[in-house]
Amino acid sequence: MREYQRREKRLRAVTIVGIMILSLMASVGLVPSTFADDTVSITCYTGYPPNDKYVGTVTIFDVPTASNACNTMYYDCRKRCMGCYIDRELVEDVCIDVYGNTFLK
């Protein structure tokens, strides 16, 4: 019985020390944050270029959900908005329509 109690105490001590180390690492910034550079700013438009109308902006984590995020966020979209973002490689606006089609603006 004593052996079991000793193991249990050691396990608790190791667990507490591990939690303390992880907490310290998180507070110092050594653990990657979920909100780092994973977000993308999306500009929402109704219609297609050149007749598109600006509706607003949304911040998302997953680019393929751009149009869905716009349509969920803004009532003016009425499920017809497209979401556009600046592609850093192409240095142009890339848009995604309600059908998931991607095109340059």
Span 25-58, pLDDT tens digits: 666 555 444 444 678 899 999 988 778 899 999 9
Query: Helices in the chain by DSSP H: which ranges?
Result: 2-28, 66-73
Backbone angles phi, psi at 86, to 5 degrees: -85, 120
Structural domains of the chain, count: 2
| 23 and 46 belong to one structural domain | no
- At residue 24 the predicted structure's pLDDT band, cuts being 50, 70 and 90, is low
For the chain, give the mean pLDDT: 80
| 55 and 86 belong to one structural domain | yes
| 44 and 27 belong to one structural domain | no
| 50 and 71 belong to one structural domain | yes
| 51 and 99 belong to one structural domain | yes
| 45 and 7 belong to one structural domain | no
Q: Which domain does 90 fall in, by range?
A: 40-104
| 47 and 98 belong to one structural domain | yes
- Supply angle C-alpha 75, 38, 94, rounded to 5: 60
Residue 1 scores a pLDDT above 80: no
Per-residue model confidence (pLDDT) at position 76: 87
